[in-house]
Amino acid sequence: MKKLVEFPMKPNHRTRQHLWVAAKELGFEFYERTQTSISLYEFDLSGKKVERSYELLNILEFSSSRKRMSVIVRNEEGKLLLLCKGADSVMFERLAKNGQEFAEQTKEHIEEYADAGLRTLVLAYREIDEEEYVKFNEEFTEAKNVVSADREEMIEEVAEKIERELILLGATAVEDKLQNGVPECIDKLAQAGIKIWVLTGDKMETAINIGFACSLLRQGMKQVVINSETPENKALEKSGDKTAAAAAYKASVIQQIAEGKQLLASSNENSEALALIVDGKSLTYALEDDVKDSFLELAIGCGSVICCRSSPKQKALVTRLVKTKTGSTTLAIGDGANDVGMLQEADIGVGISGVEGMQAVMSSDIAIAQFRYLERLLLLHGHWCYRRISSMICYFFYKNIAFGFTIFFFEIYASFSGQAVYNDWFLSLYNVFFTSLPVIALGVFDQDVSSRLCLKFPLLYQEGIQNVLFSWLRIVAWAFNGVLSATIIFFFCIRAMQHQAFRKGGEVAGLEVLGATMYTCVVWVVNCQMALSITYFTYIQHLFIWGGIILWYIFLMAYGAMDPNISTTAYKVFIEACAPAGSYWLLTLLVLVTSLLPYFAYSAIKFRFFPMYHEMIQWIRSDGQSDDPVYCQMVRQRSLRHTTVGYTARFEAKSRSSKEGGEGHR
C-alpha cells in the first residue's frame, strides 16, 4: 500500500505550488512521480476516488522566448495528450479554430484577473496521433543530442511544430503578494533621489496594479502608455506579411514615443509627474539603434518607468542602455532565473533568495533575503561605506604627504646633499605600525550618523551620488592640509633647535635628535588628526590611535638600546637626549596644537555656517532634537528635493492640490 504524502516534493516555483493545491481541491491529488510516470488520485463520474497513472513521455521546458511549457503524456487508455500552459500572448495564437469556443470569455477573465493584480496562465491541450508523435520524438531526441551552440534553437523549432492546434481549457490566476515593506522601501529610495524602473514579465494590467500597490504609480499621475497591439497591427500580423507588420509596429512605437516627448516638453515643475508604461513587443522596437535614444530621453524625463512582458534579454538591454548612455551607476535586483542577464549587466546585481530558486543569487554581487533589506543596504551601509572609504583614502594621502614633505623640506635645507633626516627603520615602520592601523579602523568602524538617523533622513544618500566627500576639491584640500602640517612640523623643529642649547651640557641638538623630534611630531599630528576626523569612537579606534603613539616611544627606546651597529643614528637618542630635555616635550605639544588648529578652525566654521547634510543631522543629534518632528522637518526642507514616486510623493501631491483648491476658493 502506497503512503499518501501532502507534498512528495517541493515545487521550485510558488505558482506551481498554488496550482498543485488548486488541483487537489478540484479532485486531482498528485501523490507520486517517477522518471517516466505521474500518478494521481482522481474522482470518477460516480464520485469515487480512483488511482490513475500517466506515462510521462516528453517535457518541453519553459523558456523566456517560448513563454510556455508543455508535457506529452500517455493515459491508461493509450491516448497521447499534449498539455500546455503559458502566457496569453503566445497561447491564443496557437489555438485551433475549433478550440476557441471560450476564447473571448477567457480573455475577459484574464483582463479582470490582471486588473486585480493577479498573475495569469492559459491552459490548453491537444490529442496527438501515434504517427505524428513518433516523427516528433525522433526530431526532438535528435535536437537534444546536438552539442552545437544552436541546440536550444533547434529544440524550440521542434517544439513549435507540435505546440499548435490546441484546444483551450481556460485560465488560472495566482495572487503574487508584495513582500512586507516594499512600498516603504521604494518610498525611502525615491526620497534618496534614486530613479526606480520596473522590468517585469507580467501583463501590463498586472504591472500597473502592482505599480499602484507599491506607490510607483498614483492617481492623477499621467500615464504614457506605449502599446503597439492595435487592431490594425494585429490584422496585418495575421495576414502573414511579417515585414509589413514589423514596419507598422515600429512606426506605431516611434509615433507614441514622439507624442510622449511632446507631453513631457509641455509639462513644467508644478505639473503632475509622468509614468511611462511599455509592453514587451513595443520594447523590442524601442530598443533598436535608431529609436533607443528617443526612448531613453522620454524614459529619463518620466517619474516612473514600467516595462511589461519583458524577456530576460530585454531586461539586460534596458539596463545596458541606461548604463552606457547616461553614465549612471545602475543597480538591478531580482529573484528569478529571468533576472540573471539583468543582474550581470548592471554595475551592481542584488539577488533575492527565496522560492524562485538560487539562480539570481548565484549570478549577483550581493544576496539579500527580502526586497525591503535594500533600504538598509543602500541608505545605511551604502552611505557608511562611501564615507569610510572616501575618508580613508583622503587620510592616506594626508598622512603620507605630511611625512614625505618633512623629508623634502629637509633635503632643501641640506642643499640636496642626500643626507637622510630619519633612520631607515623609521621610514620602514611609519606605514606599518605607527599610522596605518587608525586608518583601517576608520574604514571599518566609523559612523558619521547613527543607523536610525541614516534611515530617517534618506537624502544622506545624495552625498554619495553627488560625490561630495571624494571630489577633487576635497582630495586637494586634504593634500594641502598635509603640506601645511609638514611645513609647521619642519620649520618649528628647525627654528626651535637651531643655535639653541638642547642638552644639559649646553650642546646643540644633532641630526639624530632633529630626526627623532620631527618624527615624534609627525606621529602625534597624523594620529591626532585622525582623532579629530572620527565621529564614532570605539575601543578599537582608541587602541589604534593612542596605541600607535605609545608604540613609537616603546620602539624608540627598544631600538635605541640595541648595539650602535644596529640602531645607528637612533642609539640611545631618546633615553639620553630627547627624554631628559623639556624642550623636546614642549616642542611636541606646540607643534601638535599649531598643526591641528587650521583644520579645527575650518571644521568649526564649516559646521556652524556651511554644514553638509550629515553635519546638519549631527547637529540635530547633539542638540537632542532628533525626535522633534518640527525640528527634523526644518532640516529636511533645507535639502529636500521633489519626489515623484512613493507614498511621500502621493501625500505631497494631495497637499499641493489641497492648497491650490484652497487658493482658488479664496
What is the DSSP annotation of 316-349? HHHHHHHHHHH----EEEE-SGGGHHHHHHSSEE
For 471-505, the pLDDT digits (tens) are: 999 999 999 999 999 999 999 999 888 766 666 66
* C-alpha of 58 from chain center: 40
Mean pLDDT of 160-187: 87
Average the pLDDT over each of 174-178, 203-207, 479-483 and give the range with the smallest value. 174-178
Name the residue ranges covered by the structural domains of the chain: 14-175, 182-370, 377-627
Per the model's pLDDT, the better-predicted residue between 490 and 338 turns out to be 490
**pLDDT at residue 2 in the model:** 31
Please report, rounded to a whole number, the percentage of residues in the chain having pLDDT higher than 90.
40
Q: Are 481 and 570 in contact (CB under 8 A)?
A: no
List residues forming the annotated binding site: 62, 85, 119, 200-202, 309, 315, 335, 338-339
pLDDT-based confidence at 608, cuts 50/70/90?
A: confident
Q: What average pLDDT does this structure show over 80-84?
A: 93
- Which pLDDT score, from 0 to 100, does residue 595 have? 96
Taking a C-beta distance cutoff of 8 angstroms, is the pair 517, 495 a contact? no
Residue 665 pLDDT exceeds 50: no
pLDDT on residue 270? 65
- Annotated binding residues for Mg(2+), written as ranges, equal 335, 339
Q: Which residues contact 111 (CB under 8 A, 6 or more apart)?
A: 205
Closest CA to 279 of 200, 169, 191: 200
Mean local confidence (pLDDT), 382-406: 95
Q: Are 617 and 460 in contact (CB under 8 A)?
A: yes
pLDDT score recorded for residue 12: 46
Phi, psi dihedral angles at 214 (to 5 degrees) = -100, 15
Q: What is the mean pLDDT of residues 547-557?
A: 94
181 vs 486, residue with greater confidence: 486
346 and 330 Cβ atoms separated by less than 8 Å: yes
DSSP-assigned letter for residue 370: S
> Who has greater pLDDT, 147 or 462?
462
9 has pLDDT over 50:
no
Asked if the model's pLDDT at residue 353 lies above 80, the reply is yes
The alpha carbon of residue 243 and the mean position of all alpha carbons in its chain are separated, in whole angstroms, by 40
pLDDT tens-place string over residues 577-600? 888 888 899 999 999 999 999 999
Residue 350: predicted pLDDT: 94
What span, in angstroms and rounded, lies between the C-alpha atoms of 515 and 506? 19
CA distances to 100, 244, 355, 371 from 16, in Å:
25, 39, 11, 22
Other Cβ atoms within 10 Å of 47 Cβ, number: 7
What is the CATH code of the structural domain delimited by 14-175? Answer: 3.40.1110
More confident residue, 241 or 570: 570
Query: CATH number of 182-370: 3.40.50.2300, 3.60.21.10, 3.40.50.1000, 3.90.1150.10?
Result: 3.40.50.1000
Compute CA 480 distance to the chain's CA centroid, rounded to the nearest angstrom. Answer: 35
Half-sphere exposure of 121 (CA within 13 A, CB side): 19
Give the strands of the sheet with 304-307, arranged side by side.
197-199, 304-307, 274-278, 222-226
The amino acid that residue 421 corresponds to is V
Residue 4 has pLDDT above 70, yes or no: no
pLDDT value of position 508: 67
Please, which pLDDT band fits residue 116 given cuts at 50, 70 and 90?
Answer: confident
383 CB-near residues (< 8 Å, 6+ apart): 449, 454, 460, 461, 463, 464
> What is the pLDDT of the chain when averaged over all its residues?
85
Residues 265-283: tens digit of each pLDDT: 887 766 678 899 998 889 9
Mean pLDDT within 501-530: 84
Per-residue confidence (pLDDT) for residue 655, from 0 to 100: 58
pLDDT at 228 (0 to 100): 81
The tens digit of pLDDT for each residue in 252-265 reads 999 999 999 998 88
DSSP 8-state class, residue 501: B
In the predicted model, is pLDDT for residue 152 greater than 90?
A: no
Q: Which residues are annotated as a binding site for ATP?
A: 62, 85, 119, 200-202, 309, 315, 338-339
Q: What is the pLDDT of residue 631?
A: 55
C-alpha 378/C-alpha 384 separation (Å) is 9
